[in-house]
Amino acid sequence: MSQFQKKSYISRLEYLSPDIVRITLDSPEIARIAQPGQFVMVKTGNGKDPLLRRPFSISQVSNDRYFQILFKVVGRGTSLLAHCREGENLSVLGPLGSGFQVDCTGSHCLVGGGIGIAPLLFLAKQLSRICTGNPPLVVLGARTGEELEPLINDFKELGLSVHAATDDGSLGHHGFVIDVLKGLQLAADATTYVCGPHPMMLAVHLLCKAKNIACQVSMETHMACGMGACLGCIVPVEKGGYAHACFEGPVFDAEELLWEVK
Amino acid sequence: MGSEIKNVDLAVSIGPLRLKNPVMTASGTFGYAKEFEPYLNLHKLGAVVVKGISLEPRPGNPPPRIIETPCGMLNAIGLENVGVERFITEKMKLLTGISVPVVVNILGDTVAEYQEIAERLADVDDIAAIEVNISCPNVKKGGVAFGTLPELATAVTNAVKKHSRVPVIVKLSPNVTDISLIARAVEDGGADAVSLINTLIGMAIDHKSRKPVLANVIGGLSGPAIKPVALRMVYQVAQSVSVPVIGIGGIESAEDVLEFMLAGATAVQIGTANFVNPRAAEETVEGLAEYVYENKLGSLREMIGALVLS
């Protein structure tokens, strides 16, 4: 598999809400070969602190030249990135990992929570492009409408209808995405693709398991290198031991993982 | 790079092992080397040191295993590795015929285990040297005692040396009162070189949850944060032993390497920097070549121990 370490030019930096930022990077090498569910490692500053790169899902590619990352400002790394300027360069490593496995013969359901919605947009675009069947079901949730609305807009632009849920009820269903999903008719041949908070992914996995529907989840972990060297990014697996999110994932068949039900 | 710069003399010797330059990779930060091929030319490096190998496979610690700290990171990987059998049949096979020296890092719970791994590896081609980890702080029985008690350090070095056909490097723990004492002990045990430092034991706590951040509670600190400690220990050890010293700790550039060589290191290992910049080791070699060329040194070896004390 090809990977690149590149100085990537920031062609656009947008605030979608007070703390959600979207950066468009000019990087043909990465944009041409990236697959939905893959990620990049980005150096957020020039010095020794923060030291490590930060992982970001690729949320969209365009024209074989650009790709986007979408993130919420949660700490020093993301804060530094949010204060970059258009025209600056970022050091980017990628595309990394194993993404979503798409089979056009069945139907598709995309379930995202919060900033975990980011990689699902790339997937929705690919499904729309290569699969001719029914458009995918899309269920997206976040804490508030202010957070969710900008994340939903890109799906709407693809012509997809989105089932929304917010914790505070300010947009769509008042509650969790799992409640919405339970009310929807999922076809027996459906594959569910999930990215979001761990409890949400667990709930969707259990629902899919009960209905005997395939479920792919994108896992977020502590990660130092993103390329199989540090062995930090592990997730427990059903057969015993661990899998490495950076090269065996970040997308896994939910059945393969060991979900610690608490 | 001009051909004059390419032709500068960067070669160093670690006992009987000759390296074309002093830049090695540190065990546990460079996988089994193949992972880095998309990013750099392995053949430009002095040597590669692969992930530590135990007699039996080890699954490692539960997550979280790593956390970033100021100018560094804590890890408690727990010595995850495929075990000596799979290492020989799978990982070494991938490195067959490689023209960069491959150093294999080994670890064990008992002297007998170290000895058995050394015996197994003695039949394997393409291994340039063995590095003995007597210092990993992460697993309760993972060798911490060997690295902190001089007589045990001598014993394990002796056992590995007797059963190896290649030079034996012993990697020292900084988590001791007097590292020179341990360095002399492994020299007595027959070590051909010492490498230092392994990680410093540290801890991170999340005050909101009131929990330790790492599942293992404690972990090893690495990165630029530990460089001053590493430099001090290399300086002290280089004056205490006559075998070559390999410096490790927060190295990410040619300037860092020069500092370690001035302190007395013959070679160095790049560790955490590989995670941030997978080309770090190759770029460091290039930086050293430029330094030697621009400063008209006969060879980079002139820097070893050349610290000026006023």
Query: Of the listed B136, B183, B185, B191, which one is catalytic?
Result: B136
The 10s digit of each residue's pLDDT in B149-171 is 899 899 999 999 999 999 999 99
* pLDDT of B141 above 50: no
Q: Decide: helix, strand or coil at residue B248.
A: strand
* pLDDT of B1 above 90: no
Beta-carbon pairs below 8 A across chains A and B: 95
The 10s digit of each residue's pLDDT in A147-196 is 999 999 999 998 998 999 999 999 999 999 999 999 998 888 999 999 99
Residue A209 within a domain:
yes
Predicted local confidence at residue B139, as pLDDT: 43
> String of b and e for B34-70 (b: at least 16 CB within 10 Å)?
bbbeebbebebbbbbbbbbbbbebbebbebbbbbbbe
- To the nearest whole percent, how much of chain B has pLDDT over 90? 85
Task: Enumerate the residues of chain A whose CB falls inside 8 A of the CB of residue B51.
Answer: 231
Return the CATH number at A209. 3.40.50.80
- To the nearest whole percent, how much of chain A has pLDDT over 90? 85
* pLDDT of B140 above 50: no
Q: Which tokens is B163 given?
A: 């059963």
Chain A: give the shortest CA distance to residue B303, in Å.
26
How many domains are contained in chain A?
Answer: 2
**The sheet that has A89-96: what strands, in order across it?**
A54-57, A39-42, A89-96, A4-17, A20-26, A66-72, A60-62
Average pLDDT over residues B229-240: 98
Chain B: give the shortest CA distance to residue A54, in Å.
10
Average pLDDT over residues B285-301: 96
Fold for B3-59+78-200+222-303, please state it. Answer: TIM Barrel (3.20.20)
Least confident span in A100-104, B245-249, B289-293: A100-104
Q: What is the mean pLDDT of chain B?
A: 93
A172 CB-side CA count, 13 A: 26
Predicted local confidence at residue B144, as pLDDT: 53
Interchain contact B39–A (C-beta under 8 A): yes
Burial class (CB in 10 A: 0-12, 13-18, 19+), B178: exposed
A206 backbone dihedrals φ, ψ, rounded to 5°: -65, -40
The 10s digit of each residue's pLDDT in B45-66 is 999 999 999 999 999 999 999 9
**B-interface mutation test, from A219, A234, A246, A248, most B Cβ less than 10 A away:** A234
Which residues of B, range 265-304, sit inside 8 Å of A by Cβ?
Answer: 272, 274-279
Q: Say whether both A171 and A118 belong to one domain.
A: yes
> Model's pTM, two decimal places?
0.94
Rounded to whole angstroms, how far apart are CA atoms B166 and B119? 11
Predicted local confidence at residue B142, as pLDDT: 46
The 10s digit of each residue's pLDDT in B198-223 is 999 999 999 999 999 999 999 999 99
Q: Decide: helix, strand or coil at residue B255.
A: helix
The reply to whether B136 belongs to the active site is yes
As for the ipTM of the complex, it is: 0.92
The answer to whether the Cβ–Cβ distance between A5 and B67 falls below 8 Å is no
Residue A243 within a domain:
no
Return the CATH number at A54. 2.40.30.10
Q: Say whether both A44 and A120 belong to one domain.
A: no
What residue in A sits closest to B28 (Cα-Cα)?
Answer: A230
Euclidean distance between the first and final Cα of chain A, in Å? Answer: 38
